[in-house]
Amino acid sequence: MRTSKRISGNSSLMPFGFRPYPVILIFILFALLGAVVAPRLSLKLYPSQTGEQLFINFYMYGAKPELVEMLATSRIESSISLIEGVKSIKSTSGEGWGEIDIEIAKNYDIENIRAKIVASIREIYPKLPHNISYPEVSEVSESESYKKRLLVYTLSGNLPSWQIKQLATNNLIPSIIGIDGVAEANIQGATELDWQIWLNHAAMEQFGISPSAVAKALKPYTLWEGVGETSLNNYSSHEVSITGPGLNRENLGSIPICMVNGRLIHLGQIARIGQRQRDADVAFRINGQPAVYLIISSTPSANQIVLADKIFETIKQKKEELPGIHFGKTYDATDQLRSDLNKNLIRTATSLGILLLFVLLTYRSFRYLWVVGFALTVNILLAAFLYFLLKIEIHLFSLSGFTLSLGLIIDNTLVTLDHLRAKGNMKIFTSLLAATLTTIAALASIFFMQSEQATNLVDFAWVIIINLVISLLVALFLIPALHKKTTGTENKKPKYAHLRTWVKIATGYKSFSLFASKNKRWGIVLGVLIIGIPTFLLPIKIESESFWANLYNKTIGSNTYQYEIKPITDKILGGTLRLFYNSSWANHSWSIPERTKLNVVFKMPDGATLQQADEVAKIFESHILSFEGVENLVTNVNRSRGTLTIYFDKQAESTPLPYELKAYLERLSITQAAADFYIYGVGLGFSNSTSTNFANSIITLKGYSHKALMSWALQFADSIAKNPRVNKVWITGGERWLFTDELKHYSNFDTEKLLSRNINPQSIFSKLSNYTKSNAWHGWIPIENHVKRMEISSDIELLSDFEINQLVMNLDSSGVRVGDVSTFHTRFVRDNIYREDQQYIITLAYNLIGPDKLIEKTLKKQIEKINSVLPQGFLAKAPYVNWSTEKDLWSYYLIFLMLLLIFIISAALFESLVQPLTVISIIPLSFAGVFLTYWIFELPFDQGTIASFLLLGGLVVNSAIYILNEMNHLNKNAEAPLRNYFKALRYKLTPILLTILSTVLGLLPFVIFGEEPFWYSLALGTIGGLIFSIPVILIFLPALPGVLKQNRKQH
């Protein structure tokens, strides 16, 4: 009888009547598939900010942004907007150019969509203006912000710098650009030899020839790239280029320009021709050393380690073709990535080792250690298989989610094994399912976060959710099969007797539980005081004339309350929430963890030259490089702006050096009046700028007609400018945060004076072009079998505005002074046109002088006023209402959403609406542990904090679910709530302590190797909350509703 009963009980271990060996073999098969696809997973440093992207770039020389938008950009957008798989379209139309950014929806083949876009462009191109270049479709944007600097090499040798650049450009750059994932590769620090045409002003005047006429005469000799595409039989396409007749040094001067009085004028008669080294546009240095640099940038979505390895191999092969050039690697962005990946591997290995050692010490059996280790290995490989199928990105966030989930996976295994050993059945699975679903529900709240916040955490959540789902399958099928075939079929008492002793000691608090159940209200009051009532957030005054506002101002807003009562009540009622708010919430930071660096950005005034800007950079370089601990200093300078990025060595990063250097540079910037400085990276940002390029009130206008939208923007700007507190108003395209006043010079001709003297305005403009930069034409011309850059410039110096006004031109018999027939003035540059998903975007910004509340109140009123008059299809909104307030609200929404999901799951498990309230009551009580942890360790509020709250909310309820579910099972057999509660507590306290301890141990590597703020705050906050949840369960669970409800009647 005993034997048959045991057989019957053991057969119930396997669900659906499955046999152990087939189950084990099926899991092994899928684990092998995971092992095969694991090396093919996408690996990168940070998550992609968007999906896969394609870019369409084209040029429409000489056209204003409005014409580019109307005649080209909008037409191309319309032709591709209906292509399936296109998620969103953004476009920018500038002066003479346009770019369209296409985001591809997930799970669509980018090459298939590219082919459809190319076909669409080929169809519409004949309908576009004749002066537009053929639109080029690529995965690389022309925007500098899109390109991520990956590698920098120093090129040196016994050759002139221009020759080194020429050799590298011809032999190396094409091979690097051809590697998939490379956004750009260029040479800095050297300029090539160009052909220069210096126009003779006197000869030009004599023959009446303008610079534009010279440029027109040279066009037939230039190279025109990308004038179209040709389709091949294999459905691929090639760009078509046109080139003129080749030239040589001897016949350059004989190029015909035009006919003057029946005489053919050649280029040599009106210009001097020669070669000169091209002026540099930018200055780039590393550690202040001038050199020839090869700079390679990657696309944001590229696997940087794989890409860097391909580039290393390419350069290694090309070195043989460039024997006279030495390559020295001076910067490698993958060093940080490789270091972080190694750190994650160490975390994972450490976490895994600690957890397996914990299992061995707990069970004191290598057989059970083998079961747990095998189940964990299968779980990991199955998860890798799902990562591959679902295209989950593997980066630092998801890797850390994987490491963190190891403890959660082992929790399910330990709970199942403990129940199998103690009860010999699988009735635990229902509560295990509910406990796991609550954790998944808590993490699912991340998917409802705002996009800019969720980007970094989505894959983090997916990795943990996938691992937990697989751990449920492993617990349901694999663990019973392994238990039956490896550890025997008879029930054994656990060997962790020391924990059993703690369980018996825990039952000694019986008298306290009776007291707590009889005084539930006092227990709830105590719990609320521990969490805290946010009275410290009450405003000092309410700006209103209502009865309630006056009553508030006379009581809570009075000086007596604010200065005498409030400090006491805040401490008594504020609880742990007040400590957390004052130490952490107020010091929020929301950024991707990265290497410590200091940035010095300076802006030069209008008209500055590259040499002047470079002199400012060199002053700072000399001071920065005098500090020990500076590992690298990267300098980028152009004529209007300079950037110095300072990296520190590993030892200096954790010392006060970054802060000391920042303070030193702040003092140095004050002595430099030539530029405006912005210094940031550590501590508070610094700026000595006195220019008003910052707006404290920003309104984003959107609509389907750019002309109408701009008209409305101008009206609103005029209305806002009438406010005496507003000192400046900007109107700019797109969504902006900083605003600059870019000016251009314009001339208005006096038409009456011109008509009276019979002068054509075009003739004045043509002659004035000799004194401006408008004559600086350049093109690419084949000369002696090499395509060379040829530039036209005047041989006279540029004149100032005053000199141009005094200039006398021979336009009639008496000559004309320019200032007599025209007026020069400055005007703001026309901005680019931005459009997103068929909606134009214009930013209206202004600076209001006054306190923050007045600024916020005025902005809100302005938006309401604007929206009240805008027609349908147009919208005004603030890009941010109050960023911190918005962040606060979203944090509350996420927590409420998490509580709602957990309530629904618990209600389905318990078939009750009361016990789920008990379950979710554990969450805010455990949050007090997070509050205390953040206060003690002075951690800032960041993304790790949000993840900590959500993860903890899904974990701490598991303890209550296990106890209440076991108690409900016992109540079905005997209605004795008090006795059954203690019995359930005795049964489940051991696995509860084991799961909490295993999770804490799994998080320890994040604390031990927690240099990055995200992982450190996430791990420490979760550990603090989990440890605090143990006394919460023991002390507050008996006082919560639905636990000992019937205790008084029975007692």
Residue 247: closest CA among 225, 267, 265 = 267
Residue 373 neighbours by CB under 8 Å, 6+ apart? 356, 359
C-beta separation of 158 from 324 below 8 A:
yes
For 617-628, b/e burial (b = at least 16 CB within 10 A) is beebbeebeebe
Alpha helices in 870-914 (DSSP H): 883-910
The pLDDT of residue 5: 40
| 3-state DSSP assignment of residue 60 | strand
Higher confidence at residue 62 or residue 104?
104
Give strand pairing partners of 243: 223
The structure tokens listed for 445 are 């709240």
Query: What are the φ/ψ torsions at residue 396 (nearest 5 degrees)?
Result: -65, -35
Residue 95's closest CA among 74, 59, 64?
Answer: 64
Question: Which of 254, 253, 275 is CA-nearest to residue 196?
Answer: 275
Residue 694 has φ and ψ, to the nearest 5°, of: -115, 135
Secondary element (H or E) of residue 877: strand 875-877
pLDDT per residue as tens digits for the range 133-188: 888 887 766 555 556 778 888 888 778 777 888 888 888 988 998 888 888 888 88
What secondary structure letter does DSSP report for 775?
G
Q: Which runs of consecutive H residues, i.e. helices, occur in 519-647?
A: 520-531, 547-555, 559-560, 566-583, 610-624
Q: Quick one: tokens of 464?
A: 């943990």
Lowest mean pLDDT among 333-337, 690-694, 761-765: 690-694
- SS3 per-residue string spanning 328-345: EEEEECHHHHHHHHHHHH
- Which 8-state DSSP code applies to residue 873? T
CA 633/CA 620 separation, integer angstroms: 10
482, 420 contact by CB (below 8 A): no
DSSP secondary structure letter of residue 1046: T
Structure tokens at 409: 């996976």
- Judge whether 960 and 1039 are in contact, CB under 8 Å: no
Residue 548 has pLDDT above 60, yes or no: yes
Token representation of residue 132:
């537009």
Mean pLDDT of 196-213: 80
**445 touches 949 (CB < 8 A):** no
Per-residue pLDDT tens for 974-1027?
667 777 888 888 788 878 888 888 888 888 888 887 666 777 888 899 999 999
Q: Which amino acid is at 748?
A: N
pLDDT for 16 beyond 70: no
Tokens for 758, please give them.
Answer: 């019979």
CB 524 within 8 A of CB 1039: yes
Both tokens of residue 454? 């969720």
Dihedrals phi, psi of 596, to nearest 5 degrees: -65, 130
In the structure, what pLDDT confidence band is assigned to residue 887 with cuts at 50, 70 and 90?
very low
Beta-carbon contacts of 502 under 8 Å, excluding residues fewer than 6 positions away, are 989, 993
| Sign of torsion over alpha carbons 1003, 1008, 1009, 1010 | positive
Percent of the chain with pLDDT over 90: 14
Determine the pLDDT at residue 1017: 84
User: What CA–CA distance (Å, rounded) separates 574 from 435?
Assistant: 31
The pTM (predicted TM-score) of the whole model is 0.65
Q: How far is CA 390 from its chain centroid?
A: 22
The count of C-alpha atoms lying within 13 angstroms of the C-alpha of 183, restricted to the half-sphere facing its C-beta, is 24
Which residue reads 């975007």 in tokens?
841
d(CA 648, CA 624): 11
Instruction: Read off the pLDDT band of 474 (50, 70, 90).
Output: very high
Are 368 and 359 in contact by the 8 Å Cβ rule? The answer is yes
Q: What is the pLDDT of residue 744?
A: 59
- Report the DSSP beta bridge partners of residue 298: 148, 182
Residue type, 870: L
Alpha helices in 757-882 (DSSP H): 761-768, 801-806, 818-821, 852-869
| Topology alike, domains 2-40+338-526+885-1050 and 697-742+832-879 | no
Q: What is the CATH number of domain 53-138?
A: 3.30.70.1430
How far is the C-alpha of 283 from the C-alpha of 1021, rounded, in Å?
46
Alpha helix (H) residue ranges in 914-942: 915-937
Percent of the chain with pLDDT over 70: 81
Residues 6+ apart with CB under 8 A from 833: 65, 66, 68, 69, 73, 92, 93, 94, 706, 733, 840
Beta bridge partners of 597: 647
- The model's confidence at residue 663, banded by pLDDT at 50, 70 and 90, is very high
Residue 234, pLDDT score: 45
- 615 falls in which pLDDT band (50, 70, 90)? very high
Query: What token pair was written down for 819?
Result: 């200032």
Longest dimension (CA), the chain: 131
SS3 991: helix
Structure token digits, residue 268: 């040599």
Q: Do residues 666 and 679 make contact, with C-beta atoms less than 8 angstroms apart?
A: yes
Tokens 């709830």 belong to 524
Cβ(1019)–Cβ(497) below 8 Å: no
Q: Tokens for 93?
A: 């139309």
The model's confidence at residue 468, banded by pLDDT at 50, 70 and 90, is very high
- For residue 521, count other CB atoms closer than 10 A to its CB: 8
Among 173, 195, 179, 176, smallest CA distance to 292 is for 173
Is 50 exceeded by the pLDDT of residue 593?
Answer: yes
Q: Which residues contact 78 (CB under 8 A, 6 or more apart)?
A: none
Beta bridge partners of 749: 822
pLDDT digits (tens, 9 = 90+) for 782-835: 776 777 777 777 655 556 667 777 777 776 666 777 777 777 655 455 568 888
- CATH assignment, 597-681: 3.30.70.1430
Higher pLDDT: 201 or 766? It is 201
The most confident of the ranges 544-553, 573-582, 892-901 is 573-582
**pLDDT surpassing 80 at residue 942:** no
Q: Report which of 480, 493, 491 is spatially closest to residue 412, judged by C-alpha positions.
A: 480
Neighbours of 540 (CB within 10 A): 11
Ramachandran category for residue 824: left, alpha or beta (phi over 0 → left; psi -120 to 50 → alpha)? beta
Q: What is the pLDDT of residue 884?
A: 42
Provide the token pair at 765.
Answer: 């403009």
**Where do we find the tokens 């985001």?**
103
Higher pLDDT pick, 811 / 431:
431
Amino acid in position 50: T
Q: Given this model, what pLDDT does residue 454 score? A: 63
End-to-end Cα distance, the chain: 40
What is the C-alpha separation between 165 and 160, in angstroms, rounded? Answer: 9
Average of per-residue pLDDT across 317-329 = 84
According to CATH, the topology of domain 697-742+832-879 is Alpha-Beta Plaits (3.30.70)
Q: Selecting from 1.10.730.10, 2.60.40.2380, 1.20.1640.10, 3.10.580.10, what CATH number does the domain 2-40+338-526+885-1050 have?
A: 1.20.1640.10
Q: Could you say which architecture CATH assigns to the domain 147-333?
A: 2-Layer Sandwich (3.30)
Strand partners, 846: 697, 729
Domain ranges of the chain: 2-40+338-526+885-1050, 53-138, 147-333, 533-574, 597-681, 697-742+832-879
